[in-house]
Chain A
Amino acid sequence: MDLLKRQLAPITSEAWDQIDDEAKRVLALHLAGRKLVDFSGPHGWQLGGVNTGRLQQIAKGPVPEVSHAIREVKPLVELRAPIRLPIMELDYAARGANDLDLDAVIETAENVAHSEDGAIWHGFPDGRIEGIIPASPHKPIDVGSSHGWLRAIAEAKEVLRIAGVNGPYALAAGIEAYDELIAAGEDGYPLQRRVEENLGVTPIVWAPALRGGAVLMSTRGGDYELTVGQDLSIGYAGATRDEVELYITESFTFRVLEDKAAILLRRGSGNPPPAPPKPKRK
């Protein structure tokens, strides 16, 4: 038995299949960072940190004539979010039901996806993760209005080029930004197609955890790395007579290797709002 203890859950294999499939579908939809950054793993539960190759000098060691330094390591963040489901509902799967009420799975999967993705875009200081947006040295470009996207993306591309960051370039768009990009432009032609065809920026990724606009970034590789120990999994926590408690878990960290490889295109007023809006289902 492994750490997830799935075998102990009073759940039929048919119900497990539906729970896993639903969680996987929602996670894959909401995880935008994984569609654009480098991925290392899965390395398993035993990976506790990533070697950064750096040293941190210690001012005073036990022997004054000897200098000391400690190796810098980026620890993995382990996250866990509970899911509570009625056993009776899950048992319907064994009787042939393929439409279980799995809203609790959907909600938890969305929260977990936004947790990972929020750390990638905006950082997570307590988890020692610097996000793509806070790390970028480029001044954000104001989009202005919903008609300003083409100009702003072209300008952003130029900023990256001048900084020596070559393509291919992709765009991660928050909920409101994405809605504007898939809408038709003034001439009735979808803005998204113009961005892809005229500016060569592709893909345009729906990123519900990204707040404050969109991010233009290079996907050439080597700039951003998501390291995963245990990849997203569902485990078993316990059960009562009527209810089973599961959880979604993973261990990960995220590193910005080249901070100049992305720029924020700001849409809306000023800085990103502190709390993420509840995303709409896509």
Chain B
Amino acid sequence: MSSESYHEPIELLSEPTKNMHRALVSLREELEAVDWYQQRAEACSDPELAAVLTHNKNEEIEHAMMTLEWIRRHNPTVADNIKTYVGSEGPILEVEKKAAQGGGGGGDDQKTTSTSLGIGSLKGKP
């Protein structure tokens, strides 16, 4: 079996859910590797090895972002949240408040928006 971390009987899971599981597990593994390389590079007493480990860490970050992009393309809620938070400016909790007021997240020109019901995009929502 490619993964032993399913939480439900595999016969009840659809193919898209299994693929998403593969992606999420891969993302977790890449991020763990980033953490490990970071610690090893910092603790390493040999500068050349430290440089190699840092290089490896950066490669893992690239892998993590590629996996995250796959997840973004297949989960509209992830896409919406990335649009709202990634690359935003100012306190992150303020970004959440503004998104809730403007609705849907990722909207621009919010100064000209009256208080709406905050429905926005429903992609990925039941």
Contact = CB atoms under 8 A, between A and B. Distances in A.
Nearest to B15: A200
A168 B116 contact: no
Contact of B107 (A42, A45, A202): A42
B120 A39 contact: yes
A14 interface: no
B104 A231 contact: yes
Contact of B120 (A4, A42, A234): A42
Contact of A168 (B74, B108, B117): B74
Interface string B1-21: 000000000000011100000
Interface in B71-126: 73-74, 76, 102-104, 107-126
| Dominant secondary structure of chain A at its interface with chain B | loop
Interface size on A, as a range, is: 35 or more
A200 B14 CA distance: 8
A103 B15 CA distance: 41
A202 B20 CA distance: 13
A233 B122 contact: no
Nearest to B111: A44
B108 to A, nearest CB: 6
A46 interface: yes
Interface stretch (A19-27, A210-218, A266-274): A19-27
A137 interface: no
Given A4-B114, A196-B14, A202-B14, A43 B109 contact: yes
Contacts, number: 103
Interface residues of B, number: 29
Interface string A26-40: 011001001111110
B109 A46 contact: yes
B117 A233 contact: yes
Contacts of B73: 220-221
Given A44-B113, A230-B113, A233-B114, A35 B15 contact: no
B74 A43 contact: no
A235 B116 CA distance: 9
Interface of B: 14-16, 73-74, 76, 102-104, 107-126
Interface of A: 2-4, 6, 20, 23-24, 27-28, 31, 34-39, 41-47, 168, 196-197, 200, 202-203, 219-221, 228, 230-235, 250
